[in-house]
Structures are given as C-alpha cells and as structure tokens.
Amino acid sequence: MSRLPVVLVPACNRMLGQHPFHVAGQKYVDAVRLAGALPLVVPSAHHDEIDALLDLADGVLLSGSPSNVHPSRFGEDVHDPSLPLDPVRDDWTLPLIPLALARGLPLFAICRGFQEVNVALGGSLHQAVQTLPGHLDHRALAVLPVATQYGPAHRVAIRPGGLFERLFDGEGIDGFEVNSLHGQGVNRLADGLRIEALAPDGLVEAFSVTDTPGFGLGVQWHPEWQAAHNPVSMTLLRAFGAACQEYRDTHRPPSR
C-alpha cells in the first residue's frame, strides 16, 4: 500500500454546453504532486458525505477559481451580477473547512480557496478591491498572455513572528514578488487567522490558521503557477506536503 498522503482537491462546477460538469485546474493537481502527495479531485459533496471524505484524506488543497464566493455567505448582496459564482462549491467547501481544521488536517488554500477559509471562519470579503480608495487593482487582464497574467504583479511583505518567518527565515527573506488575479479580497479577517503577508496597499495576502492542531495556510496569489521553477512556491508546497505526510503516518498508518 502506498504511503503517499492523499490530498482532497474540491472541484469547481461549470456548464460545458448544456450540461453541468465538475472541473479542477491541472496546475493545482500538479502542485499536489510537487508537494509529494496524491491528488484526489472531489466533484462535490452533500453535507452528510463530508466526514466520510475527510476520513480518506491526509490534507486538503482549496484551489483558485474564476468564480467568487457568493456575497450572501458574508451577509452582502451581489454588487456585480456579471461576475461568476459557484454556490455548489460554496455549499460544501465552507462547512468542510472547519471540520478539516478541527481534525488537524493540513489545509493549503489558494486565491478563491483563501477567501473561502476567511468566510468559512466568520470573516468577510471586499467584492471589488479595485474600487477601494488607495488600493491596487489586483486583477489580471484576461486579454494578456497567460504567462503575463501569472507573472509578478506586486510585492508582499512578510509579517514577522509567524509561519512565514519560520518557513523563510533561513533565507533572510522579508518579502517577495507574487502574481495577482483576483477582484475579491479580505475585508474583515476571521478570528483564528494570523496575517502572514500584506500587499503594498495593506490587503491581506496570506494568513495562517492559529486555532488548529495542524498546518493551515492560505495565500491570495497563485503559488501553483510554474511552481517547480519558483523557490517560494516550493517552500510552501514542501511544508504542506510534509504536514500531510506526518498526518498520514500518524493518523492513517498503512495496515501492518
């Protein structure tokens, strides 16, 4: 039996033609492999299936997506109805997050996934960061080449004293360039989350989960993009993968 840790990757929900499909970005699946884990894409789950799914897992990776977390999830009306939503995903990832954290399951949340964690734990989002006075436009222009869209967009500064300082301390890093492809952003930070990095305009770009026995990290940018060629991304993925391996060895040891 493989000792590789199993990482759940919740899918997104898209209409292809006249039929609904469950889809997951390949770069996220590839990133789980780079972390040294086995990706398991999960189409969707009813609430009474979530515990059984978590019983199969040694970690959870919440991917990015062009869709927004539905504003009703943080008590607001939709401001821009032209923006895509994915309430099917919201409906099961938001309850999954606290259940996974309570088990100490390692959690790595990227972009939309980062926003889901904040909302799931009681925080809120700005629906259009670019409209806020003094804020950058954190979106990427869809007409640009994809390599440009996912190229460096702004610097983030590491908040001292937290997980990032431990992960990057040996390299004397106090910040780094990141890509940026999002219109929503953290407004009220949920209790139990610690800021790990900030954008130049003060927007929260990374947080760690403080009240979980396991590894809990969310980032607003896309470390999965060409991750194998990005030392910062590989540091984050290796830390997540090591936490998943430890969880596997501790909680789901292969039967003798």
Residues making contact with ligand LF53FM6H (CB under 6 A): 25, 64-68, 111-112, 181-184, 222
115 CB-contact burial (10 Å; exposed 0-12 / middle 13-18 / buried 19+): buried
Residue 53 tokens read as: 């799914």
Shortest distance in whole angstroms from residue 210 CB to ligand LF53FM6H: 24
Shortest distance in whole angstroms from residue 247 CB to ligand LF53FM6H: 25
112-120 vs 87-103: helix crossing angle, rounded to 10: 70
CB nearer ligand LF53FM6H, residue 64 or residue 106: 64
244 is catalytic: no
Cβ-based neighbour number of residue 19 at 10 Å? 7
12 is catalytic: no
Q: Under a CB-based contact definition with an 8 Å cutoff, are residues 195 and 128 in contact?
A: no
178 forms beta bridges with: 154
CB nearer ligand LF53FM6H, residue 94 or residue 173: 94
Tell me which amino acid residue 253 is.
P
Exactly one of 111, 182, 205, 244 is catalytic; name it: 111
Exactly one of 116, 196, 205, 224 is catalytic; name it: 224
CB nearer ligand LF53FM6H, residue 49 or residue 80: 80
Q: In 3D, which of 120, 118, 115 has the Cα closest to residue 98?
A: 120
49 is catalytic: no
Exactly one of 12, 116, 222, 244 is catalytic; name it: 222
Which residue's Cβ has the minimum distance to ligand LF53FM6H?
A: 64
Shortest distance in whole angstroms from residue 147 CB to ligand LF53FM6H: 13
Cβ-based neighbour number of residue 180 at 10 Å? 26
Q: Active-site positions?
A: 111, 222, 224
